């Protein structure tokens, strides 16, 4: 990772995201960009005053979090989500970092700046819940056989330090009919899924290289959200990676149900990849 951009709206949640962005920039020796967007069309004098106030607040946040001296700070007027996306493309950014903005009203998540950025961005988006300046040590990922899931695994592998652990969990449901009352068939399907996931993890580990986090894997039957919640809780994961399927018109209009579920009620930090 060569460059990351933290979006800061002067909130406490954004300060938590900044703390993580500073840690990652130092870990990867990456350029750190801080973006603050002032929304609306304001008279020049009012805009100048707003920019000065934002500059003072952000300078203090950068000082408090120990940001590198060469951190690039941009304060700009515009439509927030669109400006974030434009700057991420123009700045040759590898990762967008954002804080949570909807913790008190998760039912109002759709339509927020965070939702729009995650939905429309082709870049990975790290959503920070916890204020922690220490490197990630444990992460979980929902792994299936899709390209976006393996892409998420690759991004997670690159993001974490080499001494971290990744817990890849594959969850599947049995067909509604045909397997009821046939325990041998059920056991055979579970064993087949385990073999396929083991091979997938082996292939991805070889592709990604040995100098990186250790990837563990498991296969569960049942509901994916419940299985992931249990994995995160029992393994004390600090980060959950999810692949958001597709980049077409439909996927831009709607986020996957699993992604929306965790963006509304995140158990830890989230890494959303396409």
Q: Tell me what the mean pLDDT of segment 3-31 comes to.
A: 96
On the CB side of 107, how many CA atoms lie within 13 Å of its CA? 0
Q: Which residues pair with 142 in a beta bridge?
A: 169
60-94 exposure pattern, b = at least 16 Cβ within 10 A, e = fewer? ebbeebebeeebebebeeeebbebbbebbeebebb
**pTM (2 decimals)?**
0.89
Lowest mean pLDDT among 12-26, 56-70, 106-120: 106-120
The enclosing H or E element of 242 equals: strand 239-243
Q: Which two tokens stand for residue 169?
A: 């969990």
pLDDT single digits (tens) 218-250: 998 888 889 999 999 999 999 999 998 644 433
> In angstroms, how far is the first alpha carbon of the chain from the final one?
17
Total count of residues recorded for the chain: 274
| Nearest C-alpha neighbor of 245 from the set 274, 205, 209 | 274
pLDDT band of 105, cuts 50, 70, 90: low
**15 SS3 class:** helix
> Which residue bears the tokens 């998540």?
109
- Rounded distance between C-alpha atoms, residue 218 and residue 224, angstroms: 12
The three-state secondary structure class of 252 is helix
Instruction: Summarize pLDDT for 171-193 with one digit per residue, the tens.
Output: 987 665 454 556 667 788 888 99
CA distance 252 to 246: 8
CA 231, CA 39: separation in Å to the nearest integer? 40
Q: Computed from CA positions of residues 211, 216, 222, 227, in that sequence, does the dihedral angle turn out positive or negative?
A: negative
Domain 1-133 has CATH 3.40.1410.10: no
Q: What does the pLDDT read at residue 252?
A: 40
Q: Which residue has the tokens 């990630």?
A: 136
Cα dihedral across residues 8, 3, 81, 274: positive or negative: negative
User: Does pLDDT of 46 surpass 80?
Assistant: yes
Nearest Cα to Cα of residue 272 among 136, 135, 132, 116 = 116
Domain residues of the chain, as ranges? 1-133, 135-274
- Mean pLDDT within 138-146: 93
Confidence at 251, pLDDT banded by 50, 70, 90: very low
Q: Which of 25-34, 91-100, 174-183 has the lowest mean pLDDT?
A: 174-183
Query: What's the CA gap between 164 and 143, in Å, rounded?
Result: 18
The stretch 19-23 carries a mean pLDDT of 98
SS3 (DSSP) at 1: coil
Model confidence over 189-207: pLDDT tens digits? Answer: 888 999 999 999 999 999 9
Q: How confident is the model at residue 137 (pLDDT cuts 50, 70, 90)?
A: very high
Domains 1-133 and 135-274 share a fold: yes
* Residue 122, token pair as written in the block: 């082709």
What DSSP designation does 52 have? H
- The CATH architecture to which 135-274 belongs is 3-Layer(aba) Sandwich (3.40)
Q: What pLDDT sits at residue 30? A: 96
Question: What's the mean pLDDT in 18-23?
Answer: 98
| Arithmetic mean of pLDDT over the chain | 88
């Amino acid at each position: 990772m060569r460059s990351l951009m933290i979006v800061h709206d002067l909130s406490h949640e954004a300060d938590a995201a900044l703390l993580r962005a500073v840690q990652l920039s130092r870990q990867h020796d990456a350029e750190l960009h801080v973006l603050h967007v002032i929304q609306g069309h304001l008279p020049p004098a009012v805009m100048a005053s707003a920019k000065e106030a934002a500059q003072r607040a952000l300078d203090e946040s950068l000082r408090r979090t120990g940001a590198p001296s060469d951190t690039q700070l941009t304060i700009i007027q515009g439509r927030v989500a669109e400006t974030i996306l434009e700057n991420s493309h123009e700045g040759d950014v590898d990762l967008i970092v954002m804080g949570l903005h909807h913790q008190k009203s998760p039912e109002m998540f759709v339509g927020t700046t965070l939702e729009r950025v995650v939905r429309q961005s082709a870049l990975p988006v790290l959503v920070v819940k916890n204020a922690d300046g220490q490197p990630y040590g444990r992460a979980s990922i929902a792994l299936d056989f899709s390209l976006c899931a393996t892409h998420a695994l690759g991004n997670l592998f690159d993001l974490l330090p080499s001494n971290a652990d990744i817990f890849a969990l594959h969850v599947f449901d049995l067909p509604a009919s045909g397997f009821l009352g046939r325990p041998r068939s059920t056991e055979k399907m579970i064993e087949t899924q385990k073999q396929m996931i083991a091979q997938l993890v082996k292939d991805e580990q070889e592709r990604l290289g040995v100098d990186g986090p250790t990837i563990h894997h498991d296969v569960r039957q049942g509901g994916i959200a419940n299985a992931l919640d249990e994995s995160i809780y029992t393994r004390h994961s600090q980060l959950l990676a999810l692949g958001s399927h597709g980049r077409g018109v439909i996927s831009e209009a709607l986020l996957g149900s699993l992604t929306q579920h965790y963006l509304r009620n995140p158990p830890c930090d989230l890494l959303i990849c396409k």
